[in-house]
Amino acid sequence: MTKAEEEFQAKIDRDIKIEPKDWMPDAYRKTLVRQISQHAHSEIVGMLPEGNWITRAPSLRRKVALLAKVQDEAGHGLYLYSAVETLGTDREQTIDDMHSGKAKYSSIFNYPTLSWADMGAVGWLVDGAAIVNQVALQRTSYGPYSRAMVKICKEESFHQRQGYELLIHMCNGTKEQKEMAQDALNRFWWPSLMMFGPSDTDSPNTAQSMAWRVKRYTNDDLRQQFVDITVPQAEFLGLTIPDPDLKMNEETGHYEFGEINWEEFFNVVNGNGPCNRERIAARSNAKKNGSWVIDAANAYAEKQRMKKKVA
């Protein structure tokens, strides 16, 4: 370790935040750019499965709640891209990397939303899992990332609540509504557990990320935390978690759960999920179709500057 690296690590060990202009190892910078932009992409791609139901929301109250929720995710994406930019990486560059498949986003958003109950399941489970992850990341070592997380966490709680409330309503509704809710849980349960990423034994970057305090807990720790929080919530709804192996271990006080289908996970991450192509196409079309708008505003701003100069 060089002296600079030692000093850097000493700061991390004392929980002193790293700020944009501070010296940092290249690998730390790279890890951050990868993790934060991946996180940002997830917020943005995450708008699509829920956006899918905005025009079909069954009441005006639900419609504005969902719309505001999905809009928040755009904001989250922006807060995170803004953290990426502090590392000297242009946001559009990372976005292009996502569109080309080079950069990843959370695999959960490659699953389709098929019924209105999915809006409940996504809010409850997907935002729920994201919250577990993000609460932990509020203490991450990079200042701008940590501050973005604090802001995001403040906004997230309404997301999960609107989803859960919607499910309470459906579970107390007609037989068909309850069936829809159960079906949504069946489809979203396992992909939600996958959101925490591969098991620790299969996660090559974890040790270094932990040492740098970019990550504060391992994937498996966070996943366990999520299961422990969520199972009682499912019971309250009167829904069954689709895992025959799920049971409380009285000794540890934690739930034990079945084996995750990692083959499915890696396939979906690598482009084989049900909606990967549609998601990427939607986002890259948005950019492509918007580029003339960007150009127009630039051209107009330039003309205004020239006018001012002349005047």
- Summarize as ranges the residues that interact with another protein (CB under 8 A): 19, 21-23, 44, 47-48, 51, 54-56, 58-64, 67-68, 70-72, 74-75, 77-79, 81-83, 85-86, 90-92, 116, 148, 151, 155, 166, 169-170, 173-174, 176-177, 282, 285-287, 289-304
The single residue among 34, 39, 62, 159 that binds Fe ion, judged by CB under 5 A, is: 159
Distance of CA 200 to the CA centre of its chain: 19
Any idea what DSSP says for residue 46?
A: T
Measuring CA to CA, which residue among 121, 116, 117 is closest to residue 55? Answer: 116
Would you say 95 or 185 has its CB closer to another protein? 95
Contact between 41 and Fe ion by CB under 5 A: the answer reads no
Q: Which of Fe ion, another protein, none sits in contact with 301, Cβ below 5 to 8 A by type?
A: another protein
Task: Tell the smallest beta-carbon distance from residue 165 to Fe ion (Å).
Answer: 15
Burial class (CB in 10 A: 0-12, 13-18, 19+), 246: middle
Q: How far apart are CA 146 and CA 142, in angstroms?
A: 6
Listed in sequence order, the DSSP H helices in the chain are 3-13, 26-45, 47-51, 60-85, 91-99, 117-121, 127-137, 143-171, 175-194, 206-211, 219-237, 262-267, 276-310
Would you say 76 or 187 has its CB closer to Fe ion? 76
* Count of residues of this chain found to bind Fe ion when the rule CB under 5 A is applied: 6
Task: Tell the smallest beta-carbon distance from residue 179 to another protein (Å).
Answer: 11
Q: Which of Fe ion, another protein, none sits in contact with 76, Cβ below 5 to 8 A by type?
A: Fe ion
